[in-house]
Each structure stands twice: as structure tokens, then as C-alpha cells.
Structure 1
Amino acid sequence: MLRYPQFTIDEIMAVLRRRKKFFFYPLILISVVSISGTFLLPQKYKSSITISVQKDAVLNPLVSYTMAVTAASDDRLRDFNEIVHSRPTIFSLMDSLGLNKVVRTKEQKEQAIKEIKEDIETDLRGSDLFTINFFNEDPDRAQDGARILSELFIKKRLEVNNKENELAVEFFENKLKDLGDKFGLSQQQYIETVRSSVLPGGDSYGLPSRIGELESQIGSIDARIISYQTALKILRNTSSNFEDPTTITNYYKVVFLDVPDADQLRLLLNKYEDMSKRYTSNFPDLTALQSKISDLTGRMKHTIESELSRQQNQVWDLQKQSSNVIGTIRSAEVNKNQNEDIRSTYEVYNKLYNDMKIKLEQARTNRDLGEKGAQQYIVIDPPQYPVHPAKPNRLLLIGGGIALGLFIGLLAAGFMELFDTRIRTTRDIEVYDKLVLAYLPSYHKTND
């Protein structure tokens, strides 16, 4: 039996003519819906901001040099998407744009958060460049939203970095204190050994007593340093919001520490306590007093930082003198083979202690630079005011609708033709695989 391998163009056109309703109805319907959608869907404007992140000036002293370089390159935009799409960031954005005024119930709040997340697009280009896109029906809000999102990300990233730097400083301070205790113990053991073996006359050279004087001075300054560090930590972690009751409480904690200007701060706090009991927070004299306290605490912070650095240098100078005295004692040794373990332990702790002091200074420098970390973020392309809406894409929506209508129309016409059992051509007979005796033409009566 003869088989036709494919349809001809004429047959396909005949099918479309017979099934034109099933072809044109989906095409017209879907095209009308897509065209209507381009005008009925809400228009949204897009604004973008592109920011470059500069490399850290000081590497992390907690890790080796190679690891620190890698971390400085890879971690500057760590958690970028998580921070931008986090709920606290979305809440702050809604508050800044005034979108939370229309949210009354929890369901509305969750829906608003979901919609805003869908309006945020991020693009992370390598490890030092990122772009934030924000869509909104209001072009002003679109521009403000892109700017606010970048500011919120930078603020949160700096908070995390500053917290990490502060923890690193605390770690090295505690480690230095621990090593200092062990170093002092090994130093004392070494001195006693040298005194008994090298200097039988005890204090004949006056060197051990000199070391005792130096250690006494170091202990006194160390106590003052601890007091300064405690006061500085309190001042850094205390905001200038006098409506917060913890602010005054923290300032009083500073007063009882041995720090510069503590007496002046005590007088201002006592005066503030007295006036706050009699007047409201809006009273001019009370507001002026709050400003004086804030200015004084700001000056105290800088004074304590300078004094802390000076005291630390003084301690290190005294420790250097102590090491020189011990070196003098060591030079007088007559029996180098005695008490080798004690001397070795002292040298090990001396090296560890000096290395830890260097790392502590690096961590403090890193922390101080981190407080000015906002300068690392440079705006390459600020958010522009959008003139034309970015959504919906009318050309894409109309073209896609017409293409979908054509596809569904062709599919519908093909299905209807496939399931139609009426015989129109010889092909419709041959599919039954039966013998054909003859083909009879159809009879059409014509009117003469």
C-alpha cells in the first residue's frame, strides 16, 4: 500500500481553512489578553546603584598572611544577598519609604515583605563590585529605595566587621594578659635561679631589686590600663540617647574608674540627675546639659585612647628595661649548662609575649580603621531617576502572547483534525489498510 511520508503545504492550508475557528479564536483571545495586560498591569520603575569595595588596609592578624589576603578579597561582600533580603533590612526600607503606614495586620505585613523582596534584584560582580536594583510604581521611591538599600547593607556590613574587630582586640588582650602572667612567672623563676647560681651574694649588684622595682611599676600601670580599657569600652558601646536609662548608668560606671575628666563628668551627671527630676527632656537647659555631657564623653574617649597608648608604650618600655636587666644578669652567668630548662621556658614565653603585643597593636589598628570602614565603599554609579517604566516589558509581553496564541491555535487545529473521523481524501481511506476497488467522484447537482 502506498504511504505518504509527509503532508503537503496545500493539505496544511486546507486543515487551517477547515479549522480556522480553532486556530483564530485562541490566537485572538491570547493576543487580546496580552495586549490588554500591557496596559492593565501596574507599571514599575527601576533604579540601580553600583558600588565598589576597596581592599582592607590592614590584614586580619588572627590568620596567616596568605589566608588573610584571601579573606580580605573574598569576604568583603560575604552575606551580601542575605543582608539585602533580610527581614530587618526590609523593615528599615519600608519605614524609610513610608510603606509601613498602610500595613495594619500581620497578613498585610507578610504580603508587603514578600512583594518588596520580589522588587529587589542584586548582582554580585566578583568580590569587589555589586549592584542593587529596586522596582517601584513610584519613580521617586524606586530611586530612594536603591540608595537606602545600599546604605542599609553598608551599615550592617560595618556593624559585623566592627564587632569582629572588637572581638579580635578582646581576644588578644586576654591572650596577652594570660601570656603576661606566664611570662612573669617564668621570669621570676629565672631570676631566682640566676640569683642563687650566678650571684651568690644575693643583691650584691642590685639587679634583682631593680627588677622588683620595674615589676612594681609595670603592675601599677597595668591596673591603670585595665581601668582605661574598661572605661573606653563603656564609652564606645554607649549611645548618646539620654532617653535610654542605660546611658546615664553607663556614664556613672565611667565616673568610678580612674580615668581623666571623671570628676568633671560626675559633676555634670549629678546636675543632670537633679534637673531631670524637675524638668522634662525638652527643657532648654536640660538639652544644653545633655550636649555638654555628650561633648565631654567624646573628648574623654579621645583622651583615654591617647593616654592608653602612652601607658601601653610606658609598660613596654619598662618591660624592655626589665629584659635588659635580665640580659645583664644572663651575661654574668658562669655555668651555662645549669637550669637550661628554666631559661628556655623564659625565652619561649618572652618571644610569645612580644609577638602577642605586635598582634594586639595590629588588631587595634584594624579596629580603628574599621570604624571608618564606610570610606571603603565607593559609589560607581549612583541611582538615577527613572523616566520610563521597566515593567511590564510591552514588546516582550505582546510578542510572547502572539507566539503563544499561534502555538495554541495550531495545536488546537491539529487536534481537531486528528480526531475528526470524516473522510475527505484518499489518504483518509488508505489509513484503514484495506483493498480499494475503485474511487468514485462525489456527485454535486448543479442548477442549469
Structure 2
Amino acid sequence: MTLFQFLLILRARRRIVAYAVVCTAIAALAVSLVLPKRYTAIASVVVDVKSPDPVAGMMLPAMTMPGYMATQVDIINSDRVAYGAIKRLGLADDAGLHARWLDATGGRDTFESWYADILQAKLDVKPSRESNVISIAYTSPEAGKAAAVANAFAQAYIATNVELKVGPAKEYAQWFEQQGKALRERVEQAQARLSEYQQQNGIVNNANGRLDYETQKLNDLQSQVVLAEAAEADADSKRHNGGADLLGESMQRPVIQQLKSEITLRQAKLDQAAGNLGKNHPQYIGMAEEIATLKQRLAAETRQVAASVDSNRRVAHEKVQRLKAAIEAQKTSILALNKNLDQAAVLQREVEAAEKAANAVADRFNQSSLESQSNQTNISVLTPAAAPVLPSSPRIPLNVLVATVAGLLLGIGAALVAEMFDRRIRSTRDVEAGLGIPLLATLESPDKTTTRRLSFGRPMALPG
């Protein structure tokens, strides 16, 4: 079938097509007028994903994820938000709805679950493309109810969003509080162990100062040992060398110097008396006896000096030994003090680590407590729903237009079916196709108003 033949068929069967178009349009109009009117109210909420969290003070990474807006749409469509909307609308106290619920379910399900399904069936949530605005649309036979339900879902969504932040924060706060108590006990125990150890070992707060003092004391003892060893060596040298060293030591004593001067003076007088009086003279003998007495005293003093040098050596040797023993004792004391300080430092680090962990948990507890008390959210109502003036359905012009197009298609189909069951010759091409022979000439009917009906399978009567 060519396009020309198709157009000829539609021209011939135009009444069928017209009847189909008119009937479908009238039917659509009648149905649209009979159907109850429905109103759609839309509430818009905006989700701020760029501002930092008001409590945490920083951008939360979940807000920047691609699926964040889809998650928000799922939250709005959740039963939790629907339950919140039912509570805000006060529908749980509606006796009529309770009666419908009992008739529909027999009380097997909860009223909130049953009516949430009804609300969600008429709820349409759509995020705007390339923006952070979400539209919440609700359709109802009543314009006021549509607006009320849409606004209730928007408010319930905001409240649920706050609960989703506050609920985990409360649980975190409780957990951090328990952990904080345990960590504070650990701090107290660690501090008690440190205090007990310090008391047992006599460690004061300025332990490093004490260590410096003990080290300086050790250095002083070592310096004293050096001096005592030098004194011992000097005394030992004097003892072994004898004459010269002892003479020098003796000359340093005033008594010996006085005796030697006195002996020298008297020896000169004795020599003079020997020349004048003679060695047998009583005066000479008396002077000689005095000189002998002085020499005895000098010898006694000299022996005393030697004994003093030996005594000094013994004293110096004993002092060196005492100082060396004191040095060893001081080293032992310093080593013990270092050991005690090291152990005290270990206990102090345990205290500091416990305090650090306790402070970190306390900070997290304060943060979680603050979050659990917050009613701030990054979602706000952009445009509240208002009661619509015009119904959203039925759309009479659209329905009539769609019905007209459908009726046109139906009429065309009916015309083609009618043509199949009652085939007619409508052009010279139909003659050639029906007879299978070429067309020689075309005869015009003398009466233009008379139509010739020629059918295949019957002989054609030509005018005589």
C-alpha cells in the first residue's frame, strides 16, 4: 500500500475516523468531569552541604559524597519520617481513621504503619537537578490536607535529621562517659603508684636537683682525693729521702731555728773561752754542757719533725682511703638514685599517658554531649506548601487532547480494518493491481454525482 492509496482510504472512510475521534474525546471529557478533583501541594527544603557543621566546626565528609542527596530522599520516604508526620498531624487521635484501620487490617498491624503506607503512596519526593533543593509533593482530594501533609513531612524530615545526629551523639556521650570514668581511675592508680614509690625511695619533686647535688658532691670528693694523694706522696717522699727534705721541714719550724741560732752563738763563745780560759776551766766546761743540752733539744726537735712527717703520711694515707671509700659509696648512691629516678620517670610517663588518654576522652565526651544537646541542622524549609487553588488532576484539556490523538489512531485503525473486509477500487492503480493488465483509457462518468461501486471478483458493467 502506497501513501496515496492510504490517503484515498482515509478520505473514503473519513466518517469512521471522525466518529472515533469525537467519541473518544467526548468519553474523555465525560470521565474527566466525573473523576474527583485532586490537589497537589509542594514543600521545598534546602540542604546546605557547603557550610561547616555548627557543632563540629568543620565540613563533614559525608555531605560531599555523591549519594548524599539520594540518601536524604530515602530518609524522607522512610517510615520514620512518615510516623513523625502522622504525629504532627494528630491523625492518631482520629476516630474515623481508626475505624478504617480496624476494618482494613483487623488490628493486626499498627495504625501508624498502616496509615504511613497510605501517605507514602501519595507522596512524591524529587531532588532538583544540579542543586541542593528537594521537593516534597503530596496529592489529596482536599487542597488544605495536601498542603498540611506536605508541610508535616518537611518538618518531620528536619526533626528526623536532627534525631539522626543527636541519637548517636547521646550514645557516644554515654560510652565516652563510661570510658572517662575508667581512665580517671587509671590516672588515680598510676598517680598512687608514683607517690608510693617516691615516698619509699625518698624522691622529692626536685629530684633532678638532688641528682645534681650528689654529682657535685662526688666531684668534690674526687678533688679531695687528688689533694690527699698529693699530700701522701709528698710525705712519703720526705720519709724516703730523709736529710734534705727533713732539713727543709725542720728549718720551717721556729723552735729549731732558734735552737740552731743559740747553738751557733754559744759555740762561738765556747771557742773564744777555749782560747782565753782553757778547756779545763769550769766556765768553759759549763758552757760546753749548755751547748750539749741545746744539741740534745735540737736532736729531739728534729726527731719530732721526722715523727711528724711520718704521722702526716699516715694521716694522708688514711684520708685517701676514707675519700676513696666515700667516692665508692657516693657512686653507689648516685647509681641507686638514677635507678630510682628512672623507675619514677617510668611511673610518671604512665601517669602522663593515662592523663592524656583521659583528657582526649573528656574532649570527645564534651563534644558528643554538645552534639547531643544541639537542635541545629543543615536543612531548612525553603518554601512551605500552600493550599493549591487549581487541581492537579484531572487535567481536562490534556485528557481531551490525549483522547483525541488516541481516537484518531483508533479511527485510522478501524478504517483500515473496514477496508480489508470491503475492498474498493479507488484509483487506476487499484484497477491495474486488481486485474493484472495494463490500463488503456479512463472514461469519465457523465453524472459526476453518481459513484460507481466496483468490487473485485464481480464483472464490471461499462456504460453503453
Q: TM-score, normalised by structure 2?
A: 0.53
Give the aligned partner of residue 391 of structure 1. Answer: 393
- 1:388 aligns to what SS in structure 2? coil
Q: Distance in 2 between matches of 1:69 and 1:77?
A: 10
Query: Aligned-pair distance for 1:94?
Result: 7.3
Q: Distance in 1 between matches of 2:380 and 2:76?
A: 19
* Pairing partner for 1:407 from 381, 406, 409: 409
Q: TM-score, normalised by structure 1?
A: 0.55
Give the aligned partner of residue 159 of structure 1. Answer: 163
Alignment of 1:165-314 (within 5 A): 165-196=169-200, 200-201=201-202
- 2:78 aligns to what SS in structure 1? helix
Give the aligned partner of residue 57 of structure 1. Answer: 54
Uncovered stretches (5+) of structure 2, i.e. residues with no partner? 208-336, 443-459
Q: Is the 8 A contact 1:83 1:89 kept in 2?
A: no
Aligned length: 303
Q: Is the 8 A contact 2:80 2:160 kept in 1?
A: no
Q: Distance in 1 between matches of 2:80 and 2:369?
A: 32
Does residue 144 of the first structure (1) align with residue 148 of the second (2)?
Answer: yes
Uncovered stretches (5+) of structure 1, i.e. residues with no partner? 208-332
Q: Distance in 1 between matches of 2:417 and 2:346?
A: 95
Give the % identical residues.
18
Q: Distance in 1 between matches of 2:59 and 2:143?
A: 47
What is the letter of the counterpart of residue 57 of structure 1?
Answer: P
Q: Distance in 1 between matches of 2:93 and 2:401?
A: 35
What is the letter of the counterpart of residue 184 of structure 2?
Answer: G
Query: Residue by residue, what CA displacement relative to the aligned partner does 1:117-143 show, whole Å, maximum 9, x if unpaired?
Result: 333222334785433222222222223
CA RMSD across the alignment: 4.2
What is the letter of the counterpart of residue 412 of structure 2?
Answer: L
Does residue 100 of the first structure (1) align with residue 103 of the second (2)?
Answer: no
Q: Distance in 1 between matches of 2:43 and 2:118?
A: 20
Check 1:66–1:77 CA distance in 2 against 1; reply closer, same or farther (3 A cut).
closer
Query: Residue by residue, what CA displacement relative to the aligned partner does 1:378-436 show, whole Å, maximum 9, x if unpaired?
Result: 4332222322212122222111111111122223323443565666555457668x963
Give the aligned partner of residue 120 of structure 1. Answer: 123
Check 1:113–1:187 CA distance in 2 against 1; reply closer, same or farther (3 A cut).
closer
Q: Is the 8 A contact 1:135 1:142 kept in 2?
A: yes
Q: Distance in 1 between matches of 2:179 and 2:338?
A: 35
What is the letter of the counterpart of residue 390 of structure 2?
Answer: H
Give the aligned partner of residue 362 of structure 2. Answer: 357
Give the aligned partner of residue 311 of structure 1. Answer: none
Query: Residue by residue, what CA displacement relative to the aligned partner does 1:164-191 show, whole Å, maximum 9, x if unpaired?
Result: 2211211211222233333334444444
Give the aligned partner of residue 436 of structure 1. Answer: 437
Query: Aligned-pair distance for 1:362?
Result: 1.2
- 2:437 aligns to what SS in structure 1? coil
Give the aligned partner of residue 218 of structure 2. Answer: none
Q: Is the 8 A contact 1:77 1:127 kept in 2?
A: no
What is the letter of the counterpart of residue 178 of structure 1?
Answer: A
What is the letter of the counterpart of residue 55 of structure 2?
Answer: V
- 1:116 aligns to what SS in structure 2? helix
Give the aligned partner of residue 219 of structure 1. Answer: none
Does residue 7 of the first structure (1) align with residue 3 of the second (2)?
Answer: yes
Query: Aligned-pair distance for 1:51?
Result: 3.0
* Pairing partner for 1:32 from 6, 26, 49: 26
Alignment of 1:419-434 (within 5 A): 425=427, 427-428=429-430
